[in-house]
A and B are shown apart, each in its own frame.
Chain A
């Protein structure tokens, strides 16, 4: 079993009349990529700031299984942080800025200079090392910003919305960089909105809404937990009577898709034999596909359901 690198226990944070984070608990294991998901205002950024000690929780505890510095806090060099609200010194040369950020994270000047050179090579900006940041394109500025947060090869990195504002090519680039970080021994906690990217990257996710945990676990377990229906796509040769299909107890909904296929939303665990036999008695079935539920669907369904529940609770 993997050892815990971070244990968060019941943290709560209020800002005036708003509870930004509400009794949030989770653990992050060494060497994994853990994703915090949630709509805008769910409390992800506040949670990330609390993990970095930028804001203090009103209650609850945050414990790292990392060595502490002289000030009783985790050493700056063991943590990396890419804030959601980010920027760098636009009027300064790129390499000098990276070296400065590395030094602030405890690197020697020599080590920071070497690491900056390696990373600039990796992101294709080696020949621009002396240029000012403001001369780079927005995408390249984002790359430099990203590098500045992990230059020191931290044990634990918090990446808040690392893909925001990136085009698909750069998103793929960052997916690979985050994977290589993890492979290099850095444990990653990221928050993001791009569900397809999170699904590709994360080992475990925690879905938040209104500051609280809604779902938590591995992608597979979450899909399993969240799935109340499963969808079967049936390709038929000829017109099908949807009303006749809807009368089967196993069918929650049946619809015809734009490509002509029938989408049959079935109750979880229901058998298909009788249903398919009934459909086959009317029309010819040429293909049957099972459509897996996506993280995006789970995200949207769960957040909507949770918001509706909270609204209901608020009214009653």
Chain B
């Protein structure tokens, strides 16, 4: 059997062993459920927030104001001597509130429970006070608006330069790197469970007699990277479903137009896959040196890729154009997250993308060979776990 077929069959086995279509469908169904709950609930709450609010107002003449027709606030001016009666009406929840104007600068609002509409009342009163004071100065509202208008500074961007990212782009970058981290967790969890499980189940010796350790680890890396990609796709579809549900309830979440560009999607997929391949080699090599996952101190070391990715994500989302972000997007250990962030948050020269991918591919190849050596010796080792010094010595036998 050819080497490539052996690796393919191992990858297929690992993928099919852990990929459960039922679980993916369940994840999508749960997303739909949550989407319906969140957006349906929000729509229901919004509808209930549209109920008219009846407010009695005393001394309305001290601060005259008008309310637009589409406002839910309904003010009714009452004489000062009916203030006590109105307070009782609030207590009996016959009306929603009693507003007593004390002066142009002060008013008191009496309510039965904390109101969700008090901000609008405050806004209307502020506007009325401004208009009253402006009138006293013999100024028109237009004069005032013109005076306090912000200075009109227009920033023109050079065609080759980069543009600042908006909040939506930053959120999108965060979500994409977040999805990558979920994929890393998948790789971490399954490599750990698979390899330490195989050692504990004593499956290793029989397989190692049939295939080379390098073929075995290559198959595992490919199979579990494919699993991580499949999980990522499920989460992407879940996110799109969630957004779709938000649109169905008339509250469509904004997707930055840039990230739907097919080239960008392909680049993100390549960096995602590259990251999974690289870190899965790390997970596989290290897991082979662990005998008992419950007691081994190396388990915490397996979290290293996730920590590194989170650090890169923070740096890039904070400032994608900084030198640190630039360096991180070329360093293979951080490139998948950092370059993904840079791609979403701004324009990245093509040669940056290519160079970063090449460096990443080279690092994957080197790590694969090093992990293969560690795996070869670690997978049949029982009893005392190798020290970091021993691991380093094994890797140097390249």
Contacts and interface: CB of A to CB of B under 8 A. Distances in A.
Given A54-B380, A76-B1, A92-B17, A104 B210 contact: yes
Contact of B205 (A86, A89, A106, A148): A86
Given A54-B205, A54-B380, A76-B211, A100 B1 contact: no
Contacts of B203: 87-89
Given A71-B212, A100-B9, A106-B1, A89 B207 contact: no
Q: Give the residue among A90, A101, A104, A105 with the most B Cβ atoms within 10 A.
A: A104
Contact of A101 (B201, B205, B206): B206
A148 B206 CA distance: 9
Interface in A66-100: 70-71, 76-77, 79, 81-83, 85-90, 92, 100
A261 to B, nearest CB: 48
Given A76-B211, A77-B1, A105-B210, A85 B205 contact: yes
Contacts of A52: 209
Given A85-B202, A89-B201, A104 B211 contact: yes
Interface residues of B, number: 20
B269 interface: no
B17 A83 contact: no
Nearest to A55: B380
B17 A89 contact: yes
A152 B193 CA distance: 29
Nearest to B16: A96
Nearest to B13: A100
Interface string A33-63: 0000000000000000100111000000000
Contacts of B1: 76-77, 103, 106
B126 interface: no
A87 B209 contact: no
Contacts of B210: 76, 79, 81, 101, 104-105
A49 B206 CA distance: 10
B367 to A, nearest CB: 23
B276 to A, nearest CB: 23
B17 A88 contact: no
Nearest to A80: B209
Nearest to B6: A104
B9 A86 contact: no
A81 B380 CA distance: 15
A106 B5 CA distance: 9
B209 A54 contact: yes
18 contacts: A52-B209, A53-B209, A54-B208, A54-B380, A76-B210, A76-B211, A77-B1, A81-B205, A81-B209, A82-B206, A87-B201, A87-B202, A87-B203, A89-B201, A101-B206, A103-B1, A104-B9, A104-B207
Interface of B: 1-3, 6, 9-10, 13, 17, 201-203, 205-212, 380
Given A82-B206, A87-B201, A104-B210, 10 more contacts: A54-B208, A79-B209, A81-B206, A81-B209, A81-B210, A83-B206, A85-B205, A86-B202, A86-B205, A104-B10
